């Protein structure tokens, strides 16, 4: 590569420059242009295209309250707090990283040491009125405890409803019925995460 | 037949035409929404009734119960009069239009035309062009810039295209030698090949274009083009007064569709085994569909382009067409 190539800032080469139609110079040419524009089949192409779409009947309307679009797993809607698979405890270890990283300052948690000197989360709330759903909290969480769900219908009449821990945490009944879905979206482990584990170099 | 019977029969016919056309106009709004929606890959109204059929009832309720506002600076009597003029002229024009071939009910022959006058075509076009007073009075009495602009555009556009439609329809009249729509219809009896469409293709095209302009349908709806002049002459209207304009527009659409079908497309003459009434219905439906189809497909034209195409292209073509027809006839 030469310097010339670097200086060429045209990142998409191959533009076709079009100077526009030539203006008619005399009466005969403008007459020809009128005839060309009037008789050209463009109008009928337009008619055909809308008619084809009608015949094809490929309707894109989603009748929202009745039908819903399936959200992508990467969609970042209301957070979910997951439980540990065996002990049924909350996965959250109270590290406070999500609270720290939250750029909207909407996560608040209170922790204490319980009788076994283990850290325990006593209160956890996300102010969804303020949350911008950036996904940093889910990304930073070391335990995959806080993840994003797909529940985007979060209108409420009271601000107090925005961010109750009970709404986010997997209910214990759901969990026991093995209905807790492992998160497959933003910040989740890949499907083949187990295969990719390698022993640290110190071990061998 | 006594005079009273004629009067009663005429009144019955008038009421039937009025109610059927008003109903068709209301139904056409639903059809229009559906067709436009399908062409744009939408569903259109779906919630009121099965597939949204009752949407027009909902519209009616909305129009009737909406508050009727007359702006403070508006000229009240004229403001009130304008929508009535628009709707009335549209319906009165239908008096001389034959819709179906005559049929017999209980041994009584019914002529499905309110009044068979010998200058029917002249009458229809004349009364339809009186309809220009609707937008004109509405726009001038509304005390609103957009309304005034809409009224100005209405006068310019409709008057200009009256010339085109009048001249273009002259050539078929020269061939037929009668202004009665029944005569025009009978002239084309005997199959598709006898349609005037094949003898007067240019006149047909010009009349159709002028029809689009006179009924104020896109691509020529400069009169109430939302992007430029809000809603044109109807900006200040609400509720049922606006509804009257709307009904008038759809009645005009139906009139033009019927006129084109009768003058150029063989009218209600039966084709093969299909009876005349059904043929007529099919033709009118096709034209209504064409109005919607064109609206979905084509962009608007600017008013100056519209005037340009009217006076510099269409009118000379209409004159040339008359000239050629005259030479051929002589």
B40: chain A residues, CB-CB within 8 Å: 50, 53
What residues does B274 pair with on adjacent strands? Answer: B271
CA distances in angstroms from A90 to A86, A138, A190, listed in the order given: 10, 15, 22
For the entire predicted model, the pTM comes to 0.76
Question: Highest mean pLDDT range out of A28-37, A162-171, B186-195?
Answer: A28-37
Q: What is the DSSP string of B280-311?
A: HHHHHHHHHHHHHHHHHH-----HHHHHHIII
pLDDT at A62 > cutoff 70: yes
Task: Determine, for residues B38 and A59 on separate chains, whether the beta-carbon distance falls below 8 Å.
Answer: yes
Mean predicted confidence (pLDDT) in B307-330 = 88
Q: Higher model confidence: residue A89 or residue B241? A: B241
Which residue ranges make up each domain of chain A? 24-60, 79-176
Alpha helices in chain B (DSSP H): 3-39, 55-65, 76-92, 120-130, 133-141, 145-176, 181-187, 196-199, 201-214, 226-229, 239-263, 276-297, 303-308, 315-329
Q: What is the pLDDT of residue A186?
A: 63
Q: How far apart are CA B309 and CA B209, in angstroms?
A: 11
Q: How far apart are CA A125 and CA B103, in angstroms?
A: 79
pLDDT at B196 > cutoff 70: yes
Q: Higher model confidence: residue B222 or residue B202? A: B202
CB under 8 Å to A178, separation ≥6 — which residues? none
Closest chain A residue by Cα to residue B290: A47
What is the overall mean pLDDT for chain A? 81
Q: What is the pLDDT of residue A185?
A: 67
- ipTM value, please give it: 0.77
Q: How far apart are CA B177 and CA B175, in angstroms?
A: 6
pLDDT digits (tens, 9 = 90+) for A7-35: 776 666 777 788 887 888 899 998 888 78
Q: At what angle do helices A42-56 and B276-297 cross, to 10 degrees?
A: 110
B298: chain A residues, CB-CB within 8 Å: 43, 46-47
pLDDT at A204 > cutoff 60: no
Q: How confident is the model at residue B320 (pLDDT cuts 50, 70, 90)?
A: very high
Name the CATH topology of A79-176. Alpha-Beta Plaits (3.30.70)
Q: How confident is the model at residue B319 (pLDDT cuts 50, 70, 90)?
A: very high
pLDDT at B48 > cutoff 70: yes
Burial environment of residue A152 by CB neighbours within 10 A (0 to 12, 13 to 18, 19 or more): middle
Q: Higher model confidence: residue B24 or residue A201? A: B24
A40: chain B residues, CB-CB within 8 Å: none
CB under 8 Å to A130, separation ≥6 — which residues? A104, A105, A106
pLDDT > 90: percent of chain A: 2
Q: Give the gap in angstroms from C-alpha A39 to the nearest C-alpha of chain B.
A: 13
Which of A39, A41, A48, A54 is best to mutate for the B interface (most B CBs within 10 A)?
A54
Q: Decide if A172 touches B, using CB distance below 8 A.
A: no
Q: How far apart are CA A141 and CA A187, in angstroms?
A: 9
pLDDT digits (tens, 9 = 90+) for B122-152: 888 888 888 888 888 988 888 888 888 888 8
Q: What is the pLDDT of residue A28?
A: 92
| Token pair of B67 as six digits | 């508050």
Terminal CA-CA length for chain B: 43
Q: What is the pLDDT of residue A41?
A: 79
Task: Determine, for residues A54 and B43 on separate chains, whether the beta-carbon distance falls below 8 Å.
Answer: no
pLDDT at B37 > cutoff 80: yes
What is the overall mean pLDDT for chain B? 85
Q: Give the gap in angstroms from C-alpha A22 to the nearest C-alpha of chain B.
A: 20
Q: Where are the beta strands (DSSP E) in chain A?
A: 79-81, 107-113, 119-126, 146-148
Q: How far apart are CA B99 and CA A13, in angstroms?
A: 64
Q: Where are the beta strands (DSSP E) in A50-152?
A: 79-81, 107-113, 119-126, 146-148
Burial environment of residue B230 by CB neighbours within 10 A (0 to 12, 13 to 18, 19 or more): middle
Q: What is the pLDDT of residue A187?
A: 63
Q: How far apart are CA B99 and CA A11, in angstroms?
A: 66
Q: Give the gap in angstroms from C-alpha B38 to the nearest C-alpha of chain A.
A: 5
Q: What is the pLDDT of residue B135?
A: 87
Task: Determine, for residues B313 and A38 on separate chains, whether the beta-carbon distance falls below 8 Å.
Answer: yes
Which among B258, B261, B308, B264 has a CA at the least distance from the CA of B169?
Answer: B264
Mean predicted confidence (pLDDT) in B172-177 = 86
Q: Give the gap in angstroms from C-alpha B82 to the nearest C-alpha of chain A.
A: 35
Q: Which long-range contacts (CB under 8 A, 24 or more apart) does B288-291 make?
A: B288/B28, B288/B31, B288/B253, B288/B254, B288/B257, B289/B31, B289/B35, B291/B212, B291/B215, B291/B217, B291/B253, B291/B257
pLDDT digits (tens, 9 = 90+) for B95-122: 888 877 777 777 677 777 777 788 888 8
A58: chain B residues, CB-CB within 8 Å: 41
What residues does A112 pair with on adjacent strands? Answer: A120
Q: Higher model confidence: residue B134 or residue A163? A: B134
A46: chain B residues, CB-CB within 8 Å: 297-298
Decide: B58 and B30 in contact? Cβ < 8 Å: no
A61: chain B residues, CB-CB within 8 Å: 41-43
Interface of A with B in 2-31 (CB under 8 A): none
Q: What is the pLDDT of residue A17?
A: 80
Provide φ and ψ at A146, rounded to 5°. Answer: -105, 125
Q: How far apart are CA B264 and CA B246, in angstroms?
A: 27
CB under 8 Å to B7, separation ≥6 — which residues? none
Q: How far apart are CA A188 and CA A72, in angstroms?
A: 13
pLDDT digits (tens, 9 = 90+) for B70-94: 888 888 899 888 888 888 888 888 8
Closest chain B residue by Cα to residue A54: B39
Q: Give the gap in angstroms from C-alpha A34 to the nearest C-alpha of chain B.
A: 10
B46: chain A residues, CB-CB within 8 Å: 63
Which residue ranges make up each domain of chain B? 3-329
Which among B15, B326, B263 has a CA at the least distance from the CA of B120?
Answer: B263
Helix (H, G, I), strand (E, B) or coil at B326: helix
Mean predicted confidence (pLDDT) in A152-160 = 79
CB under 8 Å to B208, separation ≥6 — which residues? B260
Q: Decide if A47 touches B, using CB distance below 8 A.
A: yes
| Token pair of A131 as six digits | 């949350």
pLDDT at A139 > cutoff 80: yes
Helix (H, G, I), strand (E, B) or coil at B109: strand
Number of H helices, E strands in chain A: 7, 4
């Amino acid at each position: 590569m030469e310097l010339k190539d670097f200086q060429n800032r045209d990142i998409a080469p191959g533009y076709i420059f079009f100077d526009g139609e030539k203006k008619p110079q005399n009466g005969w040419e403008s007459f020809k242009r009128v005839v060309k524009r009037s008789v050209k089949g463009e109008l009928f192409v337009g008619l055909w295209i809308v008619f084809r779409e009608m015949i094809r009947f490929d309707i894109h309307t989603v009748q929202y309250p009745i039908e819903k679009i399936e959200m992508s797993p990467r969609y970042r809607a209301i957070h979910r707090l997951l439980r540990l698979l065996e002990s049924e405890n909350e996965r959250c270890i109270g590290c406070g990283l999500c609270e720290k990283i939250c750029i909207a300052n909407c996560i608040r948690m209170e922790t204490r040491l319980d009788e076994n000197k283990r850290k325990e989360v006593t209160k956890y709330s996300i102010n969804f009125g303020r949350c911008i759903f950036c996904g940093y909290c889910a990304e930073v969480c070391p335990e995959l405890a806080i993840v994003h769900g797909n529940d985007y219908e979060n209108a409420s009449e009271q601000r107090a409803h925005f961010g109750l821990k009970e709404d986010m945490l997997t209910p214990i009944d759901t969990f026991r019925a093995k209905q807790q879905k492992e998160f497959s979206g933003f910040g989740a482990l890949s499907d083949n995460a187990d295969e990719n584990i390698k022993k640290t170099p110190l071990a061998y | 037949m006594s005079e009273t019977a004629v009067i009663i029969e005429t009144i019955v016919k008038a009421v039937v035409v009025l109610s059927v056309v008003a109903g068709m106009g209301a139904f056409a709004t639903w059809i229009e929404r559906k067709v436009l929606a399908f062409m744009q890959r939408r569903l259109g109204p779906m919630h009121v009734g099965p597939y949204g059929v009752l949407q027009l009832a909902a519209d009616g309720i909305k129009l009737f119960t909406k508050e009727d506002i007359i702006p403070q600076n508006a000229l009240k009597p004229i403001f009130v009069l304008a929508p009535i003029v628009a709707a009335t002229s549209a319906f009165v024009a239908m008096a001389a239009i034959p819709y179906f071939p005559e049929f017999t009910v209980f041994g009584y022959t019914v002529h499905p035309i309110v009044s068979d006058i010998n200058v029917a075509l002249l009458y229809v076009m004349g009364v339809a062009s009186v309809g220009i007073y609707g937008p004109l009075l509405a726009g001038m009495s509304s005390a609103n810039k957009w309304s005034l602009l809409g009224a100005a555009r209405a006068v310019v556009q409709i008057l200009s295209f009256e010339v085109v439609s009048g001249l273009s329809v002259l050539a078929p009249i020269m061939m037929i030698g009668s202004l009665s729509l029944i005569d025009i219809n009978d002239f084309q009896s005997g199959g598709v090949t006898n349609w005037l469409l094949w003898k007067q293709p240019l006149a047909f095209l010009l009349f159709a274009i002028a029809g689009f302009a006179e009924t104020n349908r896109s691509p020529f709806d400069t009169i109430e083009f939302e992007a430029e002049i809000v809603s044109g002459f109807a900006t200040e209207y609400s509720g049922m007064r606006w509804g009257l304009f709307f009904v008038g527009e759809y009645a005009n659409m139906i009139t033009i569709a019927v006129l084109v079908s009768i003058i150029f497309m063989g009218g209600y003459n039966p084709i093969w085994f299909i009876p005349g009434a059904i043929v007529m219905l099919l033709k009118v439906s096709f034209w209504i569909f064409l109005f919607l189809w064109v609206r979905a497909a084509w962009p608007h034209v600017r008013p100056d382009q519209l005037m340009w195409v009217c006076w510099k292209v269409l009118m000379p073509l209409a004159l040339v067409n008359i000239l050629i027809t005259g030479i051929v006839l002589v």
